[in-house]
Amino acid sequence: MGEQQHVKFPQEVIDEYASLGVDLPALFSAGHLGNRMGVQIVEASAERVVGTMPVEGNTQPYGLLHGGASAVLAETLGSIGSMLHGGVSRIAVGVDLNCTHHRGVRSGLVTGVATPVHRGRSTATYEIVITDEQDKRVCSARLTCMLREIGEKDAGNVPAAGRLDGAGTDADA
């Protein structure tokens, strides 16, 4: 659950990261929390990120999809888009997340699609639409990420991204 399989990246992005020895599926994954929640990244580019998450295991006491679970899916997808926009020398740090929950979901799989609203030099904002299996909107979200240069203090937390010496570990991916 949560493993990155068959993620579709644009070829130019694959080439850019491969030249630095970076494993894209590890770098642009759902992370530890997303993995625990069953988030699957299906497609990833700076223009569009698609991911899914099961409702089962991610519900609140009334049996509905937890709003926080929708927020995790939204922030994961928007962050991946922001990271891809920022390139190999920057990291994306979420600074604002807004979620509006439209309807409850009790079972099945939800799908999130993140598309850019703004992609600048220092920030990126993505709209994330989460739908149920009947393509009904469950949640509308907006995420803004600050894009900052990778620094020395990031060395242990960024899996080789932005470091031209190739040092690094995927342990924290």
Q: Which residues are catalytically annotated?
A: 75
- Evaluate the CA torsion angle 126, 141, 80, 159 in order and state its sign: positive
Q: How distant is the alpha carbon of residue 104 from its chain centre?
A: 22
Instruction: Identify the bridge partners of residue 52 per DSSP, sorted by sequence position.
Output: 40, 111
39 with 95: CB under 8 angstroms? no
Closest CA to 141 of 85, 101, 83: 101
Tell me which amino acid residue 74 is.
Answer: A
Tell me which amino acid residue 86 is.
Answer: G
- Evaluate the CA torsion angle 40, 167, 47, 68 in order and state its sign: positive
The alpha carbons of the chain give a radius of gyration, in whole angstroms, of: 16
Place of tokens 């994306």: 92
